[in-house]
Amino acid sequence: MTSTLRSSGVFDIIKQFGQWGSRTPGHPEYGHTPGVEVTTGPLGQGISAAVGMALAERWQAARFNRPGYEVMNHRTFVIAGDGDLMEGVSSEACSLAGHWQLGRLIVLYDDNHISIDGSTGIAFTEDARQRYEAYGWHTLRIDGHDREAVAAAIQEALDEASRPSLIACRTTIGYGSPNRAGTAKVHGEPLGAEEIRLTKENLDWPYEEPFIVPEGADQPLKTAARKGQAAHAQWRELMAEYEKAHPDLAAELRRAFRGELPPNWDAAMPEFDGKPLATRAASGQTLNAIIGNNPDMLGGSADLTGSNKTITSGAKDIQAGQYDGRYIRYGVREHGMGAIMNGLSLHGVIPYGGTFLVFSDYMRGAIRLAALMNQGVIYVFTHDSIGLGEDGPTHQPIEHLAALRAMPNLTVIRPADAWETAVAWKVALQNRATPTALALTRQKLPELARDKAEGLANGAYIVSDAPDFQAILIASGSEVSIAINAQKLLAEQGIAARVVSMPSWELFEAMPQSYQDEILPPAITARVSMEAGVTQGWERYTGSSGITLGINHFGASAPYETIYREFGLTPEAMADAAQSLL
């Protein structure tokens, strides 16, 4: 890819490949290297994101195209290797591509039978072409070194309207190298000076100096570039006419691709009745309120729609040939969902997808790439703690909040009640350059302070204060109401305590130090934190003198009230901890 971009004149910095400060890193990085449309280092992620791109094209075509104005009508091309097809994430995503009949998706599969360990015969012997046919794909097998065969296969794929295409291109890795061609050594090792000399000799390449592009060698690329420029000029002319005929739609299209929210995006927000409500339910009500004014949003769930509360009233499903819906049924494919959402986001869509928090592990690779690419993907992670109760330790997330918080450029928000949840959605929608993970409860939580909930945007705020407070009680999510009850117990003992709701470490640490010190005054060292997960990391807020209450072991099967009591997550335990520090 890098050599092709260099030969096509996009840049001339290939000599710095993989070096400090270079724009040509060891693997393609979106936003870093010109011409790179998606970060694809981890195998399987590129082809899976491409499924999202191809779906986005069809969804936006259904939304924006009008008779005589097909402003969305392009195809998505992928070059993938054996490793990409081995990865499970590609199986998840490509199964959906076949189900959705994404006929504008074309994959050139570099079928060279080599991976890092050696021949693919040691671990990858199924007929990948037949597997993709079973997914509902149109497949071809060709000699990947025969340019005419490649061109003919691409044309056949272009003519296939209702099925994505996989073109299995049988190739030889390291083609031309007398001693390395067709071996695993050529995958990641330099050929060496002598083998380079022999390869040039074998290919009748007369130039001894490296990085030489002979005069005229770039003509095919320049010809292709001219064709592309002409096609783009035609599209710009069509777009100009479209803007005259449909000015509102044209403005919407341009706004979506700029990554801007509509002017009235937060005009409709939910009203809650003051009754206890699970934050997953509050999230569902918030979605119902805001989605009408946010037409770029496209939701879904990995087979947990009823539990995640991710579908909105009247939303149609996206299915084959029906791309005008607002909801995606991903099936039990968390990793595929994450990767597809990356492709959707790169294509001007605001995607959100739901699953249980414990299953965020399944999609971690895709979440990491969203963070690396600065994509505003929104993850709706419900059943966020031992509060899910009887389903037991297999489904109770313990280490997951800490694991997500450890990831750079990911905003994790764990709201404490319905009002905080509504604000969390506002923050997530405004975070267009940062993915957001919402951690939401299964159990009902009491309503706290509606007039203070906007403080969530600051990451932490004072939810309940006391004059001349001696201790600070810090909590997130479902444990904030426990902290408020602990505050009352301390007050009965003549101890004044401040309660801080801290739904997001990342948002709090982005605030000025003066604000952080206002919420957590350095002079007050008697601090206790509580969260129904591992205590790792909370010491940065409690300080070396404080106490962190949480769960540093797996959960148990029982009603959630029992589990909280048995694991010591109670108002009494928090009050006792605070008292012990005074």
Q: Domain for residue 199, yes or no?
A: no
The per-residue pLDDT for 514 is 98
Count structural domains, the chain: 5
Residues 164, 97 share a domain: yes
Q: Which of 273, 86, 13 is nearest to 2 (CA)?
A: 13
Q: Domain for residue 372, yes or no?
A: yes
What type of residue sits at position 291?
I
| Rg, the chain, Cα only | 27
What CATH number should be reported for the domain holding residue 484?
3.40.50.920
Residues 562, 435 share a domain: no
Residues 501, 479 share a domain: yes
Residues 418, 315 share a domain: yes
Q: Which of 124, 102, 106, 107 is nearest to 115 (CA)?
A: 124
Residues 557, 480 share a domain: yes
Q: Domain for residue 497, yes or no?
A: yes
Q: If DSSP codes are grouped into helix, strand and coil, which group holds residue 469?
A: coil
The per-residue pLDDT for 316 is 97
Residues 115, 97 share a domain: yes
The per-residue pLDDT for 25 is 84
**pLDDT above 90 covers what percent of the chain?**
90
Q: Is the pLDDT of residue 3 over 80?
A: no
Residues 380, 356 share a domain: yes
Asked whether the beta carbons of 558 and 540 are under 8 A apart, the reply is no
List CB contacts of 310: < 8 A, sequence separation 6 or more: 284, 287, 299, 300, 301, 327, 352, 353, 354, 380
Taking residue 181's Cβ as centre, other Cβ atoms within 10 Å add up to 14
The per-residue pLDDT for 408 is 98
Q: Is the pLDDT of residue 458 over 80?
A: yes
Q: Region 460-481: what's the mean pLDDT?
A: 98
Q: Is the pLDDT of residue 366 over 70?
A: yes
Give rounded-to-5 percent helix, strand, coil for the chain: 45, 15, 40
Confidence of residue 213 (pLDDT cuts 50, 70, 90): confident
Q: Region 114-135: what's the mean pLDDT?
A: 96
Residues 417, 282 share a domain: yes
- For the stretch 308-357, pLDDT in tens is 999 999 999 999 999 999 999 999 999 999 999 999 999 999 999 999 99
Residues 60, 31 share a domain: no
Question: β-strands 497-501, 527-530: how paired?
Answer: unpaired
The per-residue pLDDT for 217 is 82
Question: β-strands 105-111, 165-170: how paired?
Answer: parallel
Q: Domain for residue 450, yes or no?
A: no
Q: Look up residue 322 and give its DSSP letter.
A: B
Q: Domain for residue 195, yes or no?
A: no
**Cα–Cα distance measured from residue 160 to residue 98, given in angstroms and rounded to the nearest whole number:** 13
The per-residue pLDDT for 383 is 98
Confidence of residue 393 (pLDDT cuts 50, 70, 90): very high
What type of residue sits at position 182?
G
Q: Whole-number mean pLDDT of the chain?
A: 96
The per-residue pLDDT for 13 is 67
Whole-structure pTM over 0.85, yes or no?
yes
Is 334 labeled as catalytic in the residue annotation? yes
Tokens of 146: 């025969």
Tokens of 225: 């570039």
Q: Is the pLDDT of residue 505 over 90?
A: yes
Taking residue 288's Cβ as centre, other Cβ atoms within 10 Å add up to 17
Residues 157, 25 share a domain: no
What type of residue sits at position 156?
E
Residues 415, 284 share a domain: yes
The per-residue pLDDT for 33 is 84
Residues 286, 137 share a domain: no
The per-residue pLDDT for 202 is 96
In the set 29, 334, 447, 531, the catalytic residue is 334
- What is the residue-wise DSSP string for 515-539? HHHHHS-TT---EEEE-SS--TTTH
- For the stretch 63-90, pLDDT in tens is 999 999 999 999 999 999 999 999 999 9
**Domain finish residue from 445, 477, 506:** 445
Partners of residue 119 on adjacent β-strands: 114
Specify the residue for token string 């205590």: 535
Give residue 249's domain range: 227-258
Q: Which of 157, 40, 44, 137 is nearest to 90 (CA)?
A: 44
What CATH number should be reported for the domain holding residue 146?
3.40.50.970
- For the stretch 9-43, pLDDT in tens is 665 667 777 788 888 888 889 998 888 999 998 99
- For the stretch 515-526, pLDDT in tens is 999 999 999 999
